Amino acid sequence: MANEYVISIEREAKLSIDTGRLKISFLSTGENHYIAVIDIAALILAHPCISLSASVLKELCAVGAIIIHTSDTFMPIAYTLAASINLDGAKRPHLQAKYINSQEEKFWWAQIVKSKILGQAKVLSLFDQTVENRLKTNAGYIKPADEENIEAICAKIYWDAYFRVIPSFATKREKQGASDIVNISLNYSYAIVRAIVARSLASAGLCLNFGVGHYRKDNPFNLVEDFIEPFRFIADKNVLEIFKTAEYGIFSSKLKKELLSRILSSTIKINNKEYRLFHGIDFAVNSFCISLEDPRRRLLLPNMPMPSGKKPVLKENNHIIYES
């Protein structure tokens, strides 16, 4: 895809369209920045005083970009997505609906959970091989739909080990209402990954309401919550590496910039080939689309054993951040 930039705006700004470019005007300094709309994949609005015109929404949606609005703790509170940019129209949502509560759906979820746990094991390999091996062993016991809830068992093991490495900052995983710098950093990092996942799923013409493991009727992004799971380890790894050196005492603009830079330059291995995060996510989403057509085809996810079959070639990506 042509649009490969993630833009994070974290100070007061006014956004408008100027001859096919997104114009970002910082009122406090008088600076103006311009980025071609076609190059934008995701726009993160992380400040309460950002204004944008209707033409900005129109132009960004026309190229399939996603706009993500965050809370003060950088948790996503709203997404703006194009209604449809896929030539298949409603074909894939009809296929998704066909497999609701099916055996195929249970197998898909088992693959996603296994990939997530193997990703967690990869993070633990940096400092605790004993716990890493426990997770790898548990991953081998996952059944369709994870009916024995191996995911939750591994989560307890994983986060206990994770926070033992950085005990001076936090002692447990917190999502909503997090106040410590590590959990805020994790939430911010997940917001970045979630935005890329949502954009990839929407661009593929998939219905985000229909999850394979998440089913909440009040959540219009169940499929996003599914497909972020195999990629969370990228955020976990980078946050861990930063705080093992204890360079930051507050959640600063410098820290946000480093997190975004590290995450978007990270690589993941799928089918024994390295991909940058953007394109690895596109790769995994494409494999799900193929599996909807032919459920005999496995999902291609990070850290999983290599199945047979050829894989498509994907491109590289870049990023931009505007911080305070």
List residues bridging with 40 in a β-sheet: 5
Q: Is the pLDDT of residue 311 over 50?
A: no
pTM of the model: 0.84
Domains 7-80 and 91-314 share a fold: no
Which residue reads 């991909």 in tokens? 275
Q: Is the pLDDT of residue 309 over 90?
A: no
* Domain ranges (residues) in the chain: 7-80, 91-314
Range among 51-65, 107-121, 164-178, 192-206 with highest mean pLDDT value: 107-121
Beta-carbon count within 10 A of 34 CB: 11
Helix, strand, or coil here: 91?
A: helix
Q: Is the pLDDT of residue 114 over 70?
A: yes
User: Could you read off the pLDDT of 116-157 as tens digits, one per residue?
Assistant: 999 999 999 999 999 999 999 999 999 999 999 999 999 999
**Pairwise CA distance, residues 112 & 43, whole Å:** 27
Beta-carbon count within 10 A of 267 CB: 13
Confidence category of residue 85, pLDDT binned at 50, 70, 90: low
**Pairwise CA distance, residues 304 & 170, whole Å:** 30
Helix, strand, or coil here: 314?
A: coil
Q: Is the pLDDT of residue 69 over 90?
A: no
Please state which of the ranges 1-15, 103-117, 138-152, 184-198 shows the lowest mean pLDDT: 1-15
Per-residue pLDDT, 232: 97
**Pairwise CA distance, residues 43 & 66, whole Å:** 6
The DSSP element (H or E) to which 120 belongs, if any, is helix 103-124
Per-residue pLDDT, 323: 46
> What percent of the chain lies above the pLDDT cut of 90?
57
Q: Is the pLDDT of residue 317 over 50?
A: no
**Pairwise CA distance, residues 238 & 260, whole Å:** 10
User: Could you read off the pLDDT of 18-46 as tens digits, one per residue?
Assistant: 999 999 999 889 999 999 999 888 898 98
Residue with the larger pLDDT of the pair 211 and 64: 211
**Pairwise CA distance, residues 55 & 24, whole Å:** 13
CATH topology of domain 7-80: Ribosomal Protein L15; Chain: K; domain 2 (3.100.10)
Per-residue pLDDT, 252: 85
Per-residue pLDDT, 87: 55
Q: Average pLDDT in the 280-298 region? A: 94
Residue among 249, 319, 302, 324 nearest 113 (CA) = 302
Confidence category of residue 177, pLDDT binned at 50, 70, 90: confident
Question: What mean pLDDT, rounded, does the chain reach?
Answer: 87
The DSSP element (H or E) to which 156 belongs, if any, is helix 150-165
> What percent of the chain lies above the pLDDT cut of 70?
90
User: Could you read off the pLDDT of 50-61 as tens digits, one per residue?
Assistant: 999 899 999 998
CATH topology of domain 91-314: Four Helix Bundle (Hemerythrin (Met), subunit A) (1.20.120)
Please state which of the ranges 89-93, 192-196, 281-285 shows the lowest mean pLDDT: 89-93
Confidence category of residue 83, pLDDT binned at 50, 70, 90: low
